[in-house]
């Protein structure tokens, strides 16, 4: 293609009609903060869309196209939030309205030839695969709000100021407010089949080591169980796990992977930090020897690190020598009888039905 055609293609991805339109669009004056550059407002800022059967005007949409690539990104973000608030009516109503509006705009922006129905249906419809939330942690709620912020930022970069955008902004504000006011005890209809394992059930995994684990999800139809054991996340067939008769010990279940130290970071200030196998901080010790609990989400700027074992000698694989070493380190720090914050996340993760919350760093 020619140079001009290439320029036109690039600026269309950012919501402009062509290169000349991009050059003529004067940026707004800066107020000292980062401002999103908005597309120029056309002579007719909004277009009517109609009921295909009666021909009546239903509403309006911006007189501009957002690229399919951006629609897909926004759709992915919105679907994750939509799934999470499935049984939280106030938030669900707001997100459903946002999704319906954007789906309508997409349908008015692209015809069947430009965007086949099969591809169109995948952008805003369907599920994200994350599942609904009952009592999400503050970290999870922050993730959902961040999804909405990113989605709104993309929309601001793609559409100009107009009445339809004002209405959409109002719906986003309602969604943010609903997420902030998520009820502590959300009543949700939970359906179980006879014989289905409920979240929080303590089981023994028949993997040759008879390790204990706690169930997060039992896919009854596929006969698969997902849970967390001393070694971390496990997936097993239903016949590979047995339910413990005494379930009273489930509340005291402490997976080794979460609370035992995997290594130690040394910081420039002289502070030392113990971290678990998922690189989540669990305890910190000041240069004066004061030990205190630390948030598992905290980022640590360290100079050097020391490891206490590798995956072959992990304590949760029946390695008594490593287990004693890790326990002696906790005793040396004076925290062997105390509970790190990361263990409290087990209850939060079970309530949210998301085993991934136990690894806030996302690494292992």
pLDDT tens figures, 300-355: 999 999 999 998 899 988 899 999 999 999 999 999 999 999 888 888 888 777 88
Q: What is Dmax (Cα atoms) for the chain?
A: 78
For the domain 3-23+38-180, what is the CATH code?
1.20.1260.40
Give mean pLDDT, residues 239-257. Answer: 85
Task: Specify the range with the lowest mean pLDDT, choosing from 112-116, 189-193, 267-271, 340-344.
Answer: 189-193
Number of neighbours of residue 65 by Cβ within 10 angstroms: 19
List the structure tokens of 128: 């994200």
Give mean pLDDT, residues 190-208. Answer: 79
What is the rounded CA–CA span in Å between residue 254 and residue 344?
10
Q: In the chain, what is the straight-line distance between the N-terminal and C-terminal CA atoms, in Å?
A: 46
What is the rounded CA–CA span in Å between residue 304 and residue 265?
6
**Residue whose pair of structure tokens reads 């609990």 in the numeric block:** 293
pLDDT of 347 reads: 83
pLDDT of 363 reads: 60
- The whole-angstrom distance between residue 193's C-alpha and the CA centroid of its chain comes to 28
Contact of 68 with 110, CB cutoff 8 Å? yes
Is 328 strand, coil or helix?
helix
What is the rounded CA–CA span in Å between residue 140 and residue 216?
17
Is 123 strand, coil or helix?
helix
């Amino acid at each position: 293609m020619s140079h001009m055609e290439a320029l036109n293609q690039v600026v269309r991805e950012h919501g402009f009609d062509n290169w000349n339109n991009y050059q003529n669009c004067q940026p707004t004056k800066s107020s000292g903060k980062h401002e999103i550059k908005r597309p120029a407002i056309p002579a007719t800022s909004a277009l009517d869309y109609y009921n295909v059967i009666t021909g009546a005007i239903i509403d309006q949409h911006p007189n501009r196209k957002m690229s399919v690539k951006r629609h897909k990104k926004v759709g992915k973000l919105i679907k994750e939030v939509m799934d999470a608030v499935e049984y939280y009516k106030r938030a669900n109503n707001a997100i459903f309205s946002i999704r319906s509006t954007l789906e309508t705009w997409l349908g008015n922006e692209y015809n069947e030839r430009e965007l086949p129905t099969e591809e169109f249906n995948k952008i805003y419809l369907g599920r994200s695969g994350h599942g609904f939330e009952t009592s999400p942690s503050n970290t999870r709620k922050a993730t959902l709000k961040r999804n909405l912020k990113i989605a709104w930022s993309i929309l601001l970069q793609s559409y100009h100021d107009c009445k339809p955008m004002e209405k959409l902004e109002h719906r986003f504000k309602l969604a943010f407010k609903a997420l902030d006011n998520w009820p502590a005890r959300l009543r949700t209809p939970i359906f179980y089949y006879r014989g289905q394992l409920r979240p929080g059930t303590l089981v023994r995994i028949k993997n040759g080591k008879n390790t204990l684990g706690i169930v997060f999800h039992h896919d009854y139809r596929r006969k698969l169980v997902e849970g967390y054991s001393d070694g971390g996340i496990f997936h097993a067939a239903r016949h590979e796990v047995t339910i413990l008769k005494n379930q009273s010990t489930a509340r005291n279940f402490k997976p080794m992977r979460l609370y035992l130290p995997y290594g130690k970071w040394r910081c420039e200030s002289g502070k030392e930090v113990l971290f678990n196998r998922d690189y989540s901080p669990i305890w910190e010790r000041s240069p004066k020897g004061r030990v205190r609990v630390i948030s598992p989400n905290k980022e640590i700027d360290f100079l050097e690190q020391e490891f206490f074992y590798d995956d072959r000698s992990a304590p949760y694989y029946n390695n008594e020598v490593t287990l004693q070493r890790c326990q002696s380190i906790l005793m040396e720090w004076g925290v062997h009888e105390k509970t790190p914050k990361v263990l409290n996340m087990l209850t939060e993760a079970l309530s949210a039905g998301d085993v991934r919350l136990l690894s806030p760093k996302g690494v292992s």
